[in-house]
Structure 1
Amino acid sequence: MKVLAIILAGGKGSRLYPLTSKRCKPAVPFGGKYRIIDFTLANCINSGIRQINVMVQYLSDSLQKHIRDGWSILSPALDEYIDVYPPQQRFADAWYQGTADAIYQNLFTIEEVNPDFILVLAGDHIYKMDYREIIEYHLTKKADLTIATIPTPLAEGSQFGIMEVDPDNRIIGFEEKPSHPKPSPNNPSMALASMGIYVFSKDIMFQNLKQDADSPSSHDFGKDIIPKMVSRNAVYSFAHQNPDASPRYWRDVGTLKSYFEANMDLLKKDSPFKLFDEDWKFRTCQTQSAPTMIHITQDSSDSFTNSLITGGAIINGSVQNSILSPGVIIEKGAYVEHSLLFNSCHIKKGAKIRNAIIEKGVQIPEGYSIGYDSKKDGEYFTLTPEGITVVPKETIIS
């Protein structure tokens, strides 16, 4: 049985702006040392899937470099690879027009691999999944398409593809981001959401992609392909859940709020998403740096508590409940709380940072404060309705 994984990594990620002003969404840093796409790639490797195509488009330079430098671990001699595909313009002079079109433009490449099944994945979610389970389920159900699903609060259902299923988990209705999501029969406060993870039988996928390409549509799986397949093909729901039927961890980090919260999940005492898992390791492109230095003396009022810190950081000030990327410098008397600091940030003496995301290379001057005056923060930076301040890349604070 041959499985080809296709990771869709071409989205703009406009709701994550300004973090996506210089990079695509899958390339946004996460958890101090990773990029968002690392979690999908690691799931593939840990699931024994070694033929992976990554479809890129907008601002893909840093993502392509990251994959080249951090994921060149497979053996072409064994027909293993992670290949990156920008728009091929094989059928038209256009970029990818939608998620389905991204695959349609590369049908020639897929046909050369000749897989039995195609695993379609999003490159911008945080979760662990052994894809062998959904593939086995797909085989057991003799499905044409299997969609990984998870319950979501009804109030948030308009952000996802929402489906209805029969008692055998066959999908009998599908709406992409509906204005009024349909509740689950067993829990009217929840809806059944698509995780953007699909297993297709190859011939069925090719047939539906070709039909869609010849018709006027947005060429999108959620808007076009899946609703039509539900009415004419065997489409099943695969629940992403624990043995006790409770939902497993999965986060769509498509907004600044959800992105910030998912990072903060890593700092919880009983974190719902465990990075420190020897049985399911995550890899990335490692920065070559010196060890971390935490230099807080016993007579100092500074402290370091409940935080993640990566290589090359120098900590002389206070850090609480925060995540620090490589090369961050915190000077004596500075204070950082409940924040994300990207690579090579420099927080100078007496500066105070709270509830903030500080982009790569930004220097915070002595005595400056962020997160304490929403009017000032909103005037100079990006301020979310939840009170998270984002200081963009290349910001110069005088």
Structure 2
Amino acid sequence: MISDPNVLVIVLAGGEGKRLQPLTNDRAKPAVPFAGTYRMIDFALSNFANAGYLKIVVLTQYKSHSLDRHITQTWRFSAMLDNYVTPVPAQMRRGPHWFQGSADAIYQNLNLIHDEKPDYVCVFGADHIYRMDPRQMVEEHMANGSGVTVAAIPVPQHEAREFGVIESDEAGNILAFHEKVESPPTMPGDDTRCLASMGNYVFDTETLIDIVTPRAEGEGSPYTDMGGDVIPALTATGDARVYDFSKNVIPGQDDRERGYWRDVGTIDAFYHANMDLIAPVPQFNLYNDRWPVFTTRKALPPAKVSRGRGGEPSFVDGSLLCQGSIVSGAHVENSIVGPGTYIDHDAHVTNSILFPGVHIGPGARLNNCIVDKNVAIPDFRRLGHDLDQDRSEFTVSDEGIVVLPKDYRFR
């Protein structure tokens, strides 16, 4: 057994994120702002940074400019110690076509694995909100000797059709893998929940190279998708095991947060994951300084709460106010106010998420809204109060969340 293995991390960040539009109209899904200050990808990268896995490549493709810029400006490790986080755009190294899926993305970038010569490869998604110590998963993978280990967590059955669902035995061997089926099997003894794949995998290097490499010269990758193709193929050969994410232990984490993981693939899921952070006792704690979430820190002044120009008092409760934000004689409740956002006097913002650089005019009323970057809400404008009217101009989610796209200009 290798006591101190060489581990390469591959973060898959090339997905289009169609279900998160219009937030992904102008950016890759992992680059979408989260909790005001962060980008989604910061959570996955922070887990590896805290664990000391410091050789990380991020495979990008779809509208990746802001994601590439965020990684290169924010995520800098010591090159002297041979550590790095680097974005790798689709390069068509295997022919004139883009990535056909997550497994094909690995195949088209096998040169990264050959160059690094790792003992193990962590292949993780870039757009989930959670804390995890990947070292514990790698150690279990090493001890079990399987070709791949898949992190998993129970989810309600009605949500499970959006995930790969695992059937396993008591020893942790994966017996069957069902990728996004309409009627997924439930867990033994619990007909309300299914065991869902988190999209996080630890591979023996040779297993990963072999499974994504074509069997004959000139062929493309035998598989395109990790969940849809690779994991079922390794399951069929008895070479796949499951890792119970709920037993992962994080310093400074209490029992309430244990096993917290959110897939923010839809507007409603994104909204609820943000709202989780502003509960009186949040299930996900941003203030755990023993396992911090890292991101860029711009030179912005502290948040300011003051009376308005006419002496109007401010009211702020149950909210996150980011650097550079100003609440001037306004009412802010149960909301996230992004960096550099200004809320003018007599405006009411409730149950809403404001991205960086938003301006809320005097007397405006916002409820259940997500406002993307650099949007100016006109004076006295009402949003989230008449959904039929809002639908004529904006995206409104299934649960009634009104979404204003980046740089939107009111008529």
Band of TM-score, shorter chain: over 0.9
Partner of 2:126: 123
1:150 and 1:247 in contact (8 A); partners too: no
Whether the 8 Å CA contact 2:384–2:402 is kept in 1: the answer is yes
Deviation for aligned residue 1:367: 0.7
Residues 312 and 345 of structure 2 are in contact (CA less than 8 Å); yes or no, is this contact kept in structure 1?
no
Distance 1:310 1:100, change over 3 A: same
The TM-score with structure 1 as length reference comes to 0.96
Q: Check if 1:377 corresponds to 2:390.
A: yes
Q: CA deviation at 1:86?
A: 0.9
Alignment correspondent of 1:305: 317
Q: Which amino acid aligns with 2:324?
A: G
User: 2: CA distance between counterparts of 1:192 and 1:370?
Assistant: 39
Aligned to 2:389, what secondary structure does the other structure show? Answer: helix
- Which residue of 1 is the match for residue 63 of structure 2? 59
Letter in 1 for 2:114: E
2:12 is paired with a residue whose SS is strand
1:226 is aligned to 231
Question: 1:215, CA displacement in angstroms?
Answer: 6.6
Q: Which amino acid aligns with 2:133?
A: D
Structure 2 partner of 1:201? 204
Alignment of 1:305-384 (within 5 A): 305-316=317-328, 317-384=330-397
The count of aligned residue pairs is 397
Q: In structure 1, how many angstroms separate the alpha carbons of the residues matched to 2:154 and 2:215?
A: 29
1:68 deviates by: 1.1
Q: Which residue in 2 is equivalent to 1:28?
A: 32
User: Distance in 1 between the 2:67 and 2:244 partners?
Assistant: 30
Shift of 1:300: 4.0
- Name 1:260's counterpart in structure 2: 271
More displaced stretch, 384-393 vs 214-223:
214-223
**Residue type at the aligned position of 1:112:** D
1:102/1:216 Cα in 2 relative to 1: closer, same or farther (>3 Å)? Answer: closer
> Cα distance 1:354–1:389, how it changes in 2: closer, same or farther (>3 A)?
same
Aligned pairs (5 A) from 1:104-119: 104-119=107-122
Distance between the aligned counterparts of 1:295 and 1:247, measured in 2? 38
Structure 1 residue 212: Cα displacement: 7.3
Q: Which position in structure 2 is the counterpart of 1:395?
A: 408
Which of 276, 287, 290 is the matching residue for 1:279? 290
1:161 is aligned with what amino acid?
Answer: G
Q: Map residues 283-298 of structure 1 onto 2, 5 A cutoff.
A: 283-296=294-307
The 1:218/1:211 distance shift into structure 2, 3 A limit, reads closer
Mark the CA change 1:98 to 1:261 in structure 2 (over 3 Å): closer, same or farther.
Answer: same
User: Is the 2:177–2:235 contact (alpha carbons within 8 Å) kept by the matching residues of 1?
Assistant: yes
Residue 36 of structure 1, CA deviation: 0.1
- Residue from 10, 13, 16 that aligns with 1:6: 10
Q: Matched residue of 1:241: which SS?
A: helix
TM-score, scaled relative to structure 2: 0.93
Amino acid aligned to 2:203: F
- SS of the equivalent of 2:165 reads strand
Q: Is the 8 A contact 2:172 2:242 kept in 1?
A: yes
- The verdict on how the C-alpha distance between 1:321 and 1:9 changes in structure 2, with shifts beyond 3 A counting, is same
Shift of 1:290: 2.0
Question: Does 1:91 pair with 2:70?
Answer: no
Listed as ranges, the gaps of 5+ residues in structure 2 are 250-254
**In structure 2, C-alpha distance between the alignment counterparts of 1:278 and 1:245, rounded to whole Å:** 17
Query: Does 2:190 correspond to 1:177?
Result: no
- Of residues 131, 137, 144, the one that matches 1:141 is 144
In the TM superposition, what is the alpha-carbon distance from 1:119 to its structure 2 partner? 0.2
Contact 1:296 1:303 in 2 (8 A): no
Decide whether the 8 Å contact of 2:256 with 2:283 is kept in 1: no
The answer for the alignment partner of 2:21 in structure 1 is 17
Match of 1:238 among 220, 226, 243: 243
Instruction: Choose 208-217 or 342-351, whichever is displaced more.
Output: 208-217
Structure 1 stretches lacking a partner, 5+ long: none
Identity %: 39
